[in-house]
Amino acid sequence: MPASQGKLEWDFRLPLVKSINVSGHKYGLVYAGVGWVIWRNKEDLPDELIFHINYLGADQPTFTLNFSKGSNQIIAQYYQLIRLGFEGYKDIMQNCRDNATVLREGIEKTGHFDVVSKDSGVPLVAFSLKDSSRYTVFEVAESLRRFGWIVPAYTMPADAEHVAVMRVVIREDFSRGLAERLITDLTKTVADMDAHAVKKAAAEPAKKTVREIEKEVTTYWRSFVARKKSSLVC
């Protein structure tokens, strides 16, 4: 990802960077189940992360999962690194960022959402409703399922639980066409939900103001007192 950030220094050129880790099954473009990490030097790898095993007859220090495990993810990652190289990954990530920009701008144009994610970093778009009084992002996400979309919706961590967002992560297989289709389906969804909210509001009795309630109460008690007085007349 940093490869698409121009001259951004993010790696071991920074003295406080001690390790770099990557989820290979995300932007490494291989099967799920592989991730890797590189430490600046051996001293930066904490001893408590290292396990010592000797079931093959000699001490073998390791800091990963042991026992039987397929090597297909590692082979696939090695192949992709050789096949794509720096420029290949850079081009793919730039395309992801461009598609994220298209999606972000399209979501903003609906007028219903505020984009809360940054333009830099991982190509994703996180957005919240400007008005959650009639429906929530959870209801929007549920309605999008009829178009075949599964978009996660969730609340923020502690001290920001009142903020609920939807999030779309742009990967290599999320094309420009899919971004435009999601915008179209999202626009249809909120339009339908707006129409439903208007019908629901029209069907419900109008809420009375505080002044109207006070007037009704005053009128009732005046009538009640008047009836009591008339019942006492001989």
CA dist., res. 226 & res. 229, Å (int): 5
Dump the DSSP string for 128-181.
Answer: EES--SS--HHHHHHHHGGGT----EEE-STT-TT-EEEEEE--TT--HHHHHH
Tokens of 183: 């915008």
CA dist., res. 187 & res. 175, Å (int): 19
Q: What is the per-residue pLDDT for 175?
A: 94
CA dist., res. 24 & res. 80, Å (int): 10
Please give the domain boundaries of the chain with CATH numbers for all domains: 2-199 (3.90.1150.160)
pLDDT of residue 69 exceeding 80, the answer is no
Q: What is the per-residue pLDDT for 145?
A: 95
Average pLDDT on 155-180 reads: 91
71 burial class (0-12, 13-18, 19+ CB within 10 angstroms)? exposed
Confidence grade of residue 160 (pLDDT, cut at 50, 70, 90)? confident
Percent of the chain with pLDDT over 70: 85
Q: 53: part of which helix (H) or strand (E)?
A: strand 51-53
Dump the DSSP string for 96-143.
Answer: HHHHHHHHHHHHHHTSSEEE-S-SSSSSEEEEEES--SS--HHHHHHH
Q: What is the per-residue pLDDT for 3?
A: 61
- Residue 22, SS3 per DSSP: strand
Q: What is the per-residue pLDDT for 34?
A: 83
Percent of the chain with pLDDT over 90: 43
Confidence grade of residue 148 (pLDDT, cut at 50, 70, 90)? very high
pLDDT of residue 6 exceeding 70, the answer is no
pLDDT of residue 2 exceeding 70, the answer is no
Tokens of 82: 């050789």
Confidence grade of residue 156 (pLDDT, cut at 50, 70, 90)? confident
Q: Do the beta carbons of residue 17 and residue 11 sit within 8 Å?
A: yes
- Of 151, 30, 170, 34, give the one whose Cα is nearest residue 94: 170
Q: What is the per-residue pLDDT for 64?
A: 67
Choose the weakest-confidence range: 22-26, 130-134, 185-189, 199-203: 199-203
CA dist., res. 124 & res. 26, Å (int): 13
Average pLDDT taken over every residue of the chain: 84
Q: What is the per-residue pLDDT for 1?
A: 62
For 44, residues 6+ apart whose C-beta sits below 8 A from its C-beta are: 18, 19
pLDDT in tens, 11-64: 899 999 999 888 888 788 888 878 888 899 988 888 877 777 776 677 777 776
Q: Do the beta carbons of residue 113 and residue 47 sit within 8 Å?
A: no
For the chain, the C-alpha Rg in angstroms (whole number) is 30
Backbone angles phi, psi at 23, to 5 degrees: -90, 105
CA dist., res. 190 & res. 108, Å (int): 13
